[in-house]
Amino acid sequence: MTVRWDGEDEDARAAARAAAERRALLDHQHGPEIVLANEFAEIRVCRVETRNGSRLLIESPKSGQWVALCPFELEALTWQNPRTFSAMIGRPFGPLLGHDEEDT
C-alpha cells in the first residue's frame, strides 16, 4: 500500500512548474556562473535575461532552492539591517511575513 498525503499531487505539479521555470531561466543565462561557499553554505549565482529584463538567479545546490531577483528586489536587500538576515537564517525555508496572497 502506497501512503499519500493531502496535496501530494499539487506539490508534484508545483515542483514540476518550478523546475521548468528554472530551466527556462538557465536557457537565457548571460555570462558565467559564480559559486560562493563557506563552511555553512554554497550558492551559485548567474545573470539571466527575461522579457522583463535582467534577473540574478541565486541557487542553493544543497537544498535545491532558488530565486530570481530583479534589480529593485536586489536593491531592497541593501535597505535591510543584520537583524533581518538573522531572522531569515533563523527561519529557513519559510517566509518572514506569513503566506503570500497567491498561497491563500
pTM of the complete model: 0.79
* Domain assignment present for 104: no
Nearest CA among 19, 59, 54 for reference residue 36: 59
In a domain, 8, yes or no: no
**Residue 17 DSSP label:** H
Q: Which among 52, 94, 88 has a CA at the least distance from the CA of 71?
A: 52
Tally of domains within the chain:
1
Type of residue at 75: E
Distance CA 58, CA 72 (A): 15
Residue 38 lies inside a defined structural domain of this protein: yes
Could you tell me if residue 12 is inside a domain?
A: no
Residue 79 lies in a domain: yes
Q: Is residue 87 part of a domain?
A: yes
Q: Which structural domain range is residue 66 located in?
A: 32-91
What is the pLDDT tens value at each position of the chain, 104 positions in all? 777 777 778 888 888 998 899 999 989 999 999 999 999 999 999 999 999 999 999 999 999 999 999 999 999 999 999 999 999 999 888 888 876 655 54
Burial class, 81, CB count within 10 angstroms (exposed 0-12 / middle 13-18 / buried 19+)? exposed
Does the residue 98 lie in any domain? no
First to last CA, the chain: 32
In a domain, 14, yes or no: no
